[in-house]
Chain A
Amino acid sequence: MTVRRALLPGALLVLLAVWPWVAPRYFVFLASVVLVNAIVALGLNLLSGYTNQLSFGHAGFFAIGAYTAAVLTLRAPGVPVLVTLAVAGALTALVGLAFGVPCLRLGGLYLTMATLAFGFVIAEILLNLDTLTNGADGLRVPPARLGALAFATDTSRYYLTAAVATVLVAAAVNLVGTRTGRAFLAIRESEIAAQASGVPVAAYKTLAFGLSAFYTGVAGGLFAFVVGFLSPDAFDVFLSVDFVVMIIVGGLGSVPGSILGATIVTVLHDGLAAFQNYRPLIFGAILIACMLFMPGGVTAAWSRVARR
């Protein structure tokens, strides 16, 4: 990597590392939320941006990861947080794979509808598994633990989230160079051509579901620790829609796009909070303007500008 190309990611990494020292406490919390959303956006992009399977049910995967991490920390407090997150991710991935298989037969809108149904059903299941999830009353999440260390402050939780996010972003960036990544890109360009070239499309599409679910599940676990409280109300279809907005605004099928989209949407949503009931009005207007003036999302617009 040339010095110039490494400059931006390098600067971002530095900013990431020093953020709790330069930002007020609330913005450390907000940054954790941004990072969690960025991981989900990455995962969603793997599915929707790369293999064209638009999902409006990712709040479901998010919820599975969140509740898994929470319940595990409650029932088995000795387990180190990284293991907890890995388990949350793995369980969610299994669900994703299981769900991805029947979805192979579905195309376009039908698939999207199936994901919508998935999201609803997961929320219902979590609401009714009272003994495990505390149902409608909501579940308080104890702090994550790593041996004797408890992640009980905003700063510690931020670093946990940032560390996990960095690893997952690096993995996503590397993925593009691997065989799997090339297969995904091929499927995105043309499913039929990929199939004709010998790419086992069905296997990769299912894998995409699993990977996407893994990312989202891990993010869900982090979310549980950052927010500290879970309730089925939190994981409704509007959350799923928020995730989709993030990747489309950022730019489909792009790792920087996912991060950028998540950042923009989260910060904007937070920044407009003082407008109370005017907030959706302004946010909606910004979304419309965004897509009218930056078709293809921010990264697409950026490349157009950069190319000039």
Chain B
Amino acid sequence: MHFVFCLVTVALALGAAAPAAAQQGVTDTEIVLGCSNSFSGPLAYTGEQATRFGVDLYFKALNDAGGVNGRKVRTVYYDDGYKPQEAVANTRKLVEQDKIFAVIAPQGTPPVMATLEYLEENRVPLLFPFQGSPVIRGKKYVFSGMTLYDRQSRMMIDYLVGPRKLKSFGVLYQDDDYGKAFLAAFEKDLARHALKLTATESVKRGVTDVSAQMAKLRAAAPQAVFLVLTPGPGAQALKERQKIGWNDVVMVSSGPLTDEKYLALAGDASEGVEGLSLWPDPVTSDLPGMKTYREAMQKHFGKNEPNRYSLSGYFAAMLFTEGARRAGKNLTRETLVSALEGINGFQSGILPPVSIGADHETQRQGFWVRVEQGRFKQLTDWLKSD
């Protein structure tokens, strides 16, 4: 009995102890943002980097400089371990208990999809989720956070079939929404060129060995193989290629895979590998925004290396700030949405000028890279995806 009383009291206390922020998460001095993300589970590293070392990195600098329109930004994060039901619970908690203004930079298609309807119903903006599935298109309060997979596919196929004149392609894809979305997009884009995929092989997340899949792909002898994986299996695929001596094929990494982690893991097996890069090189690029990013990282999180995951979170925070700035003193969810839609030619110093518009797509860019001496060398200018 006593136990039950305690339980009830604790529960009520938890409820009552929620921060007494304004109804919409905006006061004269503060904006509250948050998200449910992976701090444990398969995507824990990317989750932590995008939020604590990405979004928060930008907001630290912003708050130090006085905030946006006199308001500082505070963030709240909860761990969902990539489980959709946890994402639902966390997101509800954020909206109902922590009273956030908007969700920023959550990760993964299943967790994001699970919360989509709830957020739309409650008119909470879902800003820049770290996922590229096209299913988030066409929602009033949702703005994409990555060049969507179908755009990435179009750029990759158009580039390889066009200027590079390749005809046969294989795909090694992860057996989940990310891999399957790319697979479907590749098939569609190849069909536009009257081509078909030569061979497709799937890989489970957390796999230990890809030798069978690579052997089958090799037997089909495509000219290029798309790798739609995460850095671990991606690097394993490259090492396997090296082991079997399959040198006359071009390995092409998808946008999310094209990052320095993957190179570090693959070591010398990554030489000559190509891919679609969604961001400039986080370590060497001398674009003004990139320099600011690196300086901020050095200052606040000196031990943390600059990387694309934190960069994407940083960029998300930057975009939000631009939207909030344009919305002005009267910051509501509706004014934010309109302000973001009105962004035209925004110079971030990181990506080409951003123009958003009614389709709510914030990123449409990518450029081709090839690995030379352990780093990505830019081969083309920003590619078109329209």
Min CB distance, A141 to chain B, in Å? 10
CB pair B78 A233 closer than 8 Å:
no
A7 interfacial contact with B, CB 8 Å = yes
Q: Is the CB of A138 within 8 A of B96?
A: no
Residues of A within 8 A of B115 (CB): 229
Bin chain A's interface residue count: 35 or more
Specify which chain B residues have a CB less than 8 angstroms from the CB of A233 in the assembled complex. 82-84, 110, 176
Residue B48 at the chain A interface, CB threshold 8 Å? yes
> How far apart are the CA atoms of A230 and B84 in the complex, in Å?
7
Kindly provide the distance from the CB of B67 to the nearest chain A CB, expressed in whole angstroms. 23
Residues of A within 8 A of B82 (CB): 233
CB atoms of B89 and A270 under 8 A apart:
yes
Contact A234/B39 with A23-B11, A136-B180, A273-B79 known, Cβ cut-off 8 Å = no
Rounded to whole angstroms, the CA-CA distance of A277 and B48 in the bound complex is 9
Query: Which stretch (A27-35, A45-53, A197-205, A285-293) binds chain B?
Result: A27-35
A137 touches B109 (CB 8 A): yes
Contact of A279 among B40, B109, B175 (CB under 8 A): B40
**Complex formed: what's the CA distance from A223 to B88 in Å?**
12
Q: Is A231 an interface residue (CB 8 A)?
A: yes
Residue B114 contacts which of A12, A136, A138 (CB distance < 8 angstroms)?
A138
Residue-wise, chain A 131-157 has the 8 Å CB interface mask toward B (1 for contact) of 000011110100000000000000000
Closest to B135 in A: A137
Contact among A136, A137, A227, A276 for B79, CB-based, below 8 A: A276
B90 at interface by CB-CB < 8 Å: yes
Q: Is the CB of B177 within 8 A of A29?
A: no
Residue A228, interface by CB 8 Å: yes
Interface set, chain B 50-83, CB cutoff 8 A to A:
76-79, 81-83
Inter-chain contact A26/B96, CB cutoff 8 Å? yes
Considering the chains assembled together, what is the distance between the CA atoms of A11 and B83 in angstroms? 34
User: Does A171 have its Cβ within 8 Å of any Cβ on chain B?
Assistant: no
Partner of B113, one of A11, A229, A239, A276: A229
CA distance A267 to B39 in the complex (A): 19
- Complexed CA–CA distance, A273 and B105 (Å): 18
Q: Which residues of A contact B78 (CB under 8 A)?
A: 273-274, 276
From residue B173, how far is it (CB to closest CB) to chain A in Å? 11
Instruction: Verify B15–A27 contact, CB threshold 8 A.
Output: yes
By size class, the interface of chain B is 35 or more
Q: Give the Cβ gap from A139 to chain B, nearest Cβ, in Å.
A: 10
Residue of A nearest to B14 (CB): A271
Against A, the Cβ 8 Å flags (1 = close, 0 = not) of B172-187 are 0001110011000000
- Complex interface residues of chain A between 256 and 271 (CB less than 8 A to chain B): 263, 267, 270-271
What residues of B have a CB within 8 angstroms of the CB of A25 in the complex?
92, 96
Q: Which residue of A lies closest to B96 (CB)?
A: A26
In the complex, the answer to whether B79 meets A15 with C-beta atoms within 8 Å is no
Q: Which residues from chain B contact A230 at a C-beta distance below 8 Å? A: 84
- For the complex, give the distance between the alpha carbons of A30 and B92 in Å: 10
Q: A residues within 8 A CB of B79?
A: 273, 276-277, 279
Q: Are B176 and A136 in contact (CB under 8 A)?
A: yes
* B-chain residues with CB within 8 Å of residue A136 when the two chains form the complex: 110, 175-177, 180
Q: Which residues of chain B are within 8 angstroms of A76 by Cβ–Cβ distance?
A: none
A33 to B78 Cα, complex, angstroms: 17
Q: Are the CB atoms of A228 and B44 closer together than 8 Å?
A: no
Q: How far is the CA of A277 from the CA of B52 in the complex (A)?
A: 11
Q: How far is the CA of A33 from the CA of B89 in the complex (A)?
A: 9
Query: A24 near B: Cβ within 8 Å?
Result: yes
Determine whether A127 belongs to the interface, using a CB cutoff of 8 Å to chain B: yes
Instruction: Kindly report which residue of chain A lies nearest to residue B177, judged by CB atoms.
Output: A136
User: Judging by beta carbons under 8 Å apart, are A228 and B83 in contact?
Assistant: no
Given A15-B4, A137-B177, A234:B84 Cβ within 8 A: yes
Q: Does A107 contact B (CB under 8 A)?
A: no
Cα distance A277–B51 when bound, in Å?
12
Chain B residues with CB under 8 Å of A29's CB are 89, 92
| A29-B92, A138-B109, A280-B40 known; A227 vs B77 contact (CB < 8 Å) | no
In the bound complex, residues from chain B placing their C-beta under 8 Å from that of A234 are 83-85, 110
Q: A1-19, CB under 8 A of B: which get 1 and which 0?
A: 0000001100110010000
Tell me which residues across on chain A come within 8 A of B7, comparing CB atoms: 263, 267
A22 within 8 A of B: yes
Q: Which of B85-101 contact A (CB under 8 A)?
A: 85, 88-90, 92-93, 96-97
Q: Shortest beta-carbon distance, A215 to chain B, in Å?
A: 19
Q: CA of A136 to CA of B89 in the docked complex: distance in angstroms?
A: 20
Report whether A26 and B39 are in contact in the complex, using a CB–CB cutoff of 8 Å. Answer: no
Are A135's CB and B15's CB within 8 A? Answer: no
* Residue ranges of A at the interface with B (Cβ–Cβ < 8 Å): 7-8, 11-12, 15, 22-27, 29-30, 33, 127, 135-138, 140, 223, 227-231, 233-234, 238-239, 263, 267, 270-271, 273-274, 276-277, 279-280
Pick the 9 closest A-B CB pairs, nearest first: A229-B114, A277-B39, A231-B110, A24-B15, A136-B177, A276-B39, A26-B96, A273-B78, A227-B85
Q: Could you pull out 30 A-B pairs where Cβ atoms are within 8 angstroms?
A: A8-B4, A15-B4, A23-B15, A24-B97, A26-B93, A26-B97, A27-B14, A27-B15, A136-B176, A137-B109, A137-B113, A137-B133, A138-B110, A138-B114, A138-B177, A229-B84, A229-B113, A229-B115, A234-B85, A234-B110, A267-B11, A270-B89, A271-B14, A273-B79, A273-B93, A276-B39, A276-B79, A277-B48, A279-B40, A279-B79
12 extra interface residue pairs, beta carbon distance < 8 Å, beyond A7-B1, A279-B79 = A15-B4, A30-B89, A136-B176, A138-B113, A229-B88, A229-B115, A231-B177, A273-B90, A273-B93, A276-B77, A276-B78, A277-B40
